Structure 1
Amino acid sequence: MASSSSNLKRWLRPEVYPLFAAVGVAVGICGMQLVRNISTNPEVRVNKENRIAGVLENFEEGERYAEHGLRKYLRKRAPEIMPSINSFFSDPTS
């Protein structure tokens, strides 16, 4: 019983919280991508009836899967991570 308490004290320190948060975010992203692939990917067939169909030429469904909302949003944006800092250092008129 004492070793269990000492292990708990070792891992539940305030210094370890950012590690738990980073791992939690990574697991969340992986889980979200897994659910997205299982539920909406046109090449993944979970039901037996859909697997019998074989390879389908469903280009419209594949296009909908590939062109999701985040990709459409980012296509309109400039490829910069910090636009204000980039313009500060690169624009001589500012």
Structure 2
Amino acid sequence: MGRWIKPDVYPLIAAMSFVTGMCIFQLTRNVLLNPDVRINKAHRTTAVLENYEEGEKYAEHGFRKFLRTRSPEVMPTINNFFSNSTGKN
């Protein structure tokens, strides 16, 4: 087995495993939580579901609410360091 897996391939295997895990997570999340996905037969006959509360809960999850209160900066400390001049020129 040692000659089939070379150390040069480890970063590629790690990256592909991470991406595959993200895809599986997103597909599972959509199947289980998305209000537009109908798994059971009871709601399949209805063309438009009247589930506004469930759709709002799906769209406005906790992580999105948390990010709404944050400033849209990737690295705020570094941005403040370079943008706020202290007069040391």
Normalising by the smaller structure, the TM-score range is: 0.7 to 0.9
> Secondary structure of the equivalent of 1:50?
coil
What TM-score comes out, normalization by structure 1 length?
A: 0.78
Aligned-residue offset at 1:5: 6.7
2:88 paired with 1:85: no
- Structure 1 gaps, min length 5: none
Rounded to whole Å, the distance in 1 between the matches of 2:2 and 2:14 is 22
Look up the SS of the partner of 2:36 in the other structure: coil
Q: Could you tell me which residue of structure 1 aligns to residue 15 of structure 2?
A: 22
**CA–CA distance in structure 1, aligned partners of residues 2 and 85 of structure 2:** 60
Q: CA deviation at 1:79?
A: 0.8
- Structure 1 segments of 4+ aligned residues over 3 angstroms from their partners: none
The one of 45, 56, 67 aligned to 2:49 = 56
TM-score (normalizing by structure 2) = 0.82
CA distance in 2, matches of 1:14, 1:55: 53
Equivalent position amino acid for 1:86 in 2 = N
**Aligned partner of 1:64: which letter?**
K
Q: Distance in 2 between matches of 1:93 and 1:57?
A: 57
Higher helix content, 1 or 2: 1
Matched pairs, number: 87
How far apart, in 2, do the equivalents of 1:5 and 1:16 lie? 12
What's the offset of the Cα at 1:39?
0.6
> 1:51 is aligned with what amino acid?
R
Where structure 2 has 5 or more consecutive residues not aligned to the other structure, the ranges are: none
CA distance in 2, matches of 1:48, 1:90: 58
